[in-house]
Amino acid sequence: MTVSRRRFIQAAAGGAGTLGLSQASENRAGEDAVKRKQRTLYYNDARHYYLYVFEPPIKLKEARWPIDELVGTTIDTFVYGVERGDGLFYPSKTGMLFGADKRPFTQSPYWRAWENMQSLIARGLDPLQVLIDHAHEKEMDFFASVRMGSYGGMNPQFKIESGGRAMAHQEVRDHQFVIFEELSHQYNVEGVELDFAATPGGMAPYLRPEDAEEYTPVLTDYLRKISAMVRSRPGIPGKVGVRVYPTEAMCLRGGLDVRRWLQEGLVDFLVPMFYVDFTLDCQMPIDWLIEAAQGTDTAVYAMLQPFLSGESTGGDHTKYPSPAAMRAAAANYLTRGVDGLYTWFMKWPLGDAERRMLSELGDTELINGGDKHYILRTPSKEAVEMGYGSQLPVKISEANPDRRYSIPFFVADDVEASSDRVRQVRLLLDVYNLVTADKLTIELNGKSLAKESCLRTYESAVRPFRGQRLEFHLKKVRPRKGDNVLTVSLGGRPAGFAGGVSINRFELFIEYGPYPSTLGV
């Protein structure tokens, strides 16, 4: 296979990723391995847009598809989900191959995945190694990601849904450890990723809530053991990444002592996210993590979730973000200090819009210089229950001129400094149960929007009676770079009309043009 300058040296004899390089190549690879920790990452879960899709026997071109669809973009790191909880998507010598316990199959995706892997194995090809080799040929680093609540092939009595205690069992931790050992020592991956954030929704819980406090130090010790093993492999040390929850409280409730990990240098990167809520959040509350990682060798990569709305947030169908929306989230995270951007599950097959996004994520100038569409997300029920809420909805129960409701938000754009290029700034609010006679006061950073142009229309095309959409064209009162706050108050309602209103949607558009928006002198 072709070995690029980015590849590490795998010296373990007989390993699937054994490489024979000259000392000079090894030195170059080693220098690159300790290069800056900025990355642009893309995740493929092996299933939805890969093994589940192609009709067997899978062609070699199709087997390489997850890598080839990213070629020519700024993605430099490919992350591959090697299992989903009930089997591995490669011929492991220590774990169970996905589908081994499901034959005969009754679902077409499972049958395709099994037959596709078997067709590669019959040709003497390891499905995982095919992807690793092709990623390396295309100058991408490769990380193998494992969901920590998953362990196909083990005693089902260890699972929480069967009355077990998951990772509280030493047997489960030992089983997962040998999987990580196999991935990092027998395959020439750059590293591994431990995914704790896939529950709920993406995997079974890795701990019972009542066990979390007791087993927090156990999980830290377990991570310490995995990190030492991965980093001590022959050749260039492997790297260790971990997916965690967005807030520190959520992490601690889940037994994840992230600050201790940072203090001990146990991980090379952290990815805050919440699996079941796939909604893009340009305001994700991760400043605590960015600040905690300062002064350490641990990078923080922001997860750009792939949807604007979907079933988890009560939507009728999945809605994907535009390049401007993705750009706004990316700009916010980079401005707040993350070391790189991470995304996944985009509309597939990847089209022009998706490739455009992926071509910008690794280019700060393109991100900062383009149009932005800031959207405050509507959280899922599960996210709210776990403490990852949102600024929306804002429910105003009754008219009271003395009661103000705040909507804080962060903006990466410096509108004032770029005034010669800013074409327009628009603020869109959907207000449920609003009528024109209501006395609604809206201020941005303490300045009233009463004199700004406001266009009104129906809040819903399907149910036009439900409320109003307010579209402000901001000329004099504009958001500033950094923290902002929109305040709203309902001062009064027309006679005979009581109750309140609810702000269910907040969107901010900042559009740039080649020339100033005034004639000038």
- Rank 159-173, 437-451, 506-520 by mean pLDDT and report only the highest: 437-451
Q: Note the pLDDT tens digit of each residue in 4-43.
A: 334 333 333 234 443 332 333 344 344 444 443 799 999 9
Q: Which residues contact 462 (CB under 8 A, 6 or more apart)?
A: none
Q: Which residues contact 340 (CB under 8 A, 6 or more apart)?
A: 37, 38, 39, 40, 41, 269, 299, 301, 302
Half-sphere exposure of 29 (CA within 13 A, CB side): 25
- Given a cut of 80, whether residue 179 has pLDDT beyond it is yes
Q: Note the pLDDT tens digit of each residue in 437-489.
A: 999 999 999 999 999 999 999 999 999 999 999 999 999 999 999 999 999 99
- Given a cut of 50, whether residue 99 has pLDDT beyond it is yes
pLDDT of res. 520? 60
E strand or H helix that includes residue 333: helix 323-336
For every residue of 51-73, DSSP letters joined together read ITTSPSSPPHHHHTHHHHTTTTS
For every residue of 376-425, DSSP letters joined together read PPPPPHHHHHTT---S--EEE-S--TT--EEEEEEE---TTTTTTTEEEE
Task: State the Cα torsion 411-414-415-416 to the nearest 10°.
Answer: 140
pLDDT of res. 36? 34
Q: List residues bridging with 61 in a β-sheet.
A: none
pLDDT of res. 316? 57
For every residue of 356-373, DSSP letters joined together read HHHHHTT-HHHHHHS-EE
Delimit the domains of the chain by residue range. Answer: 39-374, 391-512
Six-digit token pair at 26? Answer: 């090894």
Domains 39-374 and 391-512 in one fold: no
Six-digit token pair at 434? Answer: 């609003």
Q: Note the pLDDT tens digit of each residue in 204-228.
A: 899 999 999 999 999 999 999 999 9
Q: Are 142 and 135 in contact (CB under 8 A)?
A: yes
pLDDT of res. 151? 78
Considering only residues 432 and 16, tell me which one the structure prediction assigns the higher pLDDT. Answer: 432
Q: Whole-model pTM?
A: 0.91
Reduced to 3 states (helix: H, G, I; strand: E, B; else coil), residue 177 is helix
Q: Note the pLDDT tens digit of each residue in 39-67.
A: 999 999 999 999 999 999 999 999 999 99
Q: Are 484 and 409 in contact (CB under 8 A)?
A: yes
**Lowest-pLDDT range, 89-103, 307-321, 363-377?**
307-321
Half-sphere exposure of 407 (CA within 13 A, CB side): 27
pLDDT of res. 318? 86
Closest CA to 467 of 507, 434, 500: 434
What architecture (CATH level 2) is domain 391-512?
Answer: Sandwich (2.60)
- Given a cut of 90, whether residue 155 has pLDDT beyond it is no
pLDDT of res. 4? 36
- 39-374: CATH topology is TIM Barrel (3.20.20)
Confidence of residue 245 (pLDDT cuts 50, 70, 90): very high
Q: In 187-243, which ranges are continuous DSSP H helix?
A: 212-231
Q: List residues bridging with 300 in a β-sheet.
A: 270
